[in-house]
Amino acid sequence: VYFFSDFCSSLLLHKVRHCPLTMVLSKSFSSEPADKRQFTEDFDRAYSRWAGWYDTLVKVLPFWRTWLQATIPHLQGPKVLEVSFGTGWLLTQIAGQFDSYGLDYNLRMCDIAKENLQRKRLSAEVIQGTVEAMPYENEFFDSVVSTMAFSGYPDADKAMAEMQRVLKPEGRLIVLDINFPREEGYVGMGLARLWQSSGDLLRDMDALFQRQNLDYTDEEVGGFGTVHLYIAQKRR
């Protein structure tokens, strides 16, 4: 764990030191991928390959768990859906409190999440599927939460519209993800650029929420301002 943390820190510092200052400090949002299917398949293969390591790191890295836990006080029930739950760490924290559901595109992640829930003797309805076309009725959930995953969706508007569709009126949409820090500090901007260079799509979330007709709040909860917690409520 310490080796991994040191490695990531060293990699970040190397990238920041060797990037022109204007490049690191410039806020340039990502374009939507031209080939959305290929984008999804590339991410899916990567997550299948690293699912076991991902599960271990989420469990042992305290800062990651702290970020995920920041979503819990904002959940309202009884029915809660987590989309793109990874290996299910957050599901194991909320399954005893809410009528919990989970949907993830990656089959290997689904299998590990089910194992983690069974190990803790918890119950949640976990299925494989895509956030752009979820197999749920309209206005079914009281809360929908997505953590550290929205930047991996190939079609932001379609994903958020689908999340809204399954939310009840006045239901809560919670998105935790990476984006540029408001203060645009050197380290935070460098870290955001590192995420972006790895393939994540950093978007103009203000414009996205406006297009979706959603009022929202935006709180920076970690990562030198790069980890954002967005809370929105569906209108009646």
Q: pLDDT value at position 181?
A: 96
Mean pLDDT on 103-107: 97
pLDDT tens, position by position, 25-63: 678 999 999 999 999 999 999 999 999 998 999 988 899
Domain residue spans of the chain? 36-234
List pLDDT tens digits, range 202-236.
999 999 999 999 999 999 999 999 999 999 999 98
pLDDT band at residue 126 under the 50/70/90 scheme: very high
Residue 20 vs residue 7, higher pLDDT: 20
CATH class of 36-234: alpha beta
pLDDT band at 5 (very low <50, low <70, confident <90, very high): very low
pTM > 0.85: yes
Q: Residue 25: its pLDDT value, please?
A: 60
What is the overall mean pLDDT for the chain? 90
Q: Is the pLDDT of residue 142 over 70?
A: yes
Residue 6: pLDDT over 50: no
pLDDT value at residue 154: 96
For the chain, what is the HEC assignment?
CHHHHHHHHHHHHHHHHCCCHHHHHCCCCCCCCCCHHHHHHHHHHHHHHHHHHHHHHHHHCHHHHHHHHCCHHHCCCCEEEEECCCCCHHHHHHCCCCEEEEEECCHHHHHHHHHHHHHCCCCCEEEECCCCCCCCCCCCEEEEEEECCHHHCCCHHHHHHHHHHHEEEEEEEEEEEECCCCCCCHHHHHHHHHHHHCCCCCCCHHHHHHHCCCEEEEEEEEHHHCEEEEEEECCC
